[in-house]
Structure formats: structure tokens, C-alpha cells
Amino acid sequence: MKILDLKFLTPNHTVRHLKFENVNTELDATALKDCMDQIIALNVFQKVDDEGNGIPLLGTPVSASYIDKTENVVYSAAQPNVEEPAA
């Protein structure tokens, strides 16, 4: 599975990630940068301060990466159907 990881710098200089699964891997750097700029311009990711003002969580695009995700289950609590003893 491919994951798209969009990395942003916040206004207080911390890093935030937006990750998307099952994405179009044909997007180039220009298209992804434009998408990141649009996400910031929409200003939908905010937190509210004590005075009720919205503070943006995303400030500046940093990078966009495609990540290959492979899941290797080492342990699982799931068990096959086991009959319950008669009461």
C-alpha cells in the first residue's frame, strides 16, 4: 500500500503531517505543492485559543513523500472459532 505523507511547518515552528492512503502516485512535485498550498489556504485545520480565536495548524509546506507500507503481523489475538463448552 502507498501512503502520501504531506509535511507542514506550523506557525509555531513544529511539524505536522497529513497522511492519505490509496493515493494517486502519479502526482509530481508541482501538483503536490499546489495541493498543499490549497490545503493551507482553506484554513480548515485550526485550534481555538482561550479567547475563541482560530489559530491555523498548518503554515508552510515542507515536503511530500510517497511511503510504501508493508504490514507484517507478528502476533494477533484473533483466534479461530472455538466451541464454547456446554453449560
Q: In 3D, which of 62, 60, 55, 57 has the Cα closest to residue 5?
A: 62
- 46 lies in a domain? yes
Residue 79 lies in a domain: no
Q: What is the pLDDT of residues 12-65, one digit of tens each?
A: 899 999 999 999 999 999 999 999 999 999 999 999 989 998 889 999 999 999
Residue 82 confidence (pLDDT) above 60:
no
Residue 40 belongs to domain spanning? 2-68
**What is the reported pLDDT for 10?**
92
Q: Is residue 62 part of a domain?
A: yes
Is 59 contained in some domain? yes
pLDDT band at 72 (very low <50, low <70, confident <90, very high): confident
Number of domains in the chain: 1
Question: How distant, in Å, are the alpha carbons of 28, 63, 70, 85 from that of 56?
Answer: 26, 18, 33, 57
Is the whole-model pTM more than 0.85?
A: no
Q: Give a yes or no: residue 73 inside a domain.
A: no
User: Which amino acid is residue 13, in one-letter code?
Assistant: H
Tell me what the mean pLDDT of segment 57-79 comes to.
90
Query: What confidence tier does 86 reach under pLDDT thresholds 50, 70, 90?
Result: low
CA triple 61-65-71, angle to 5 deg: 135
Domain assignment present for 34? yes
Cell readout for 35 is 495541493
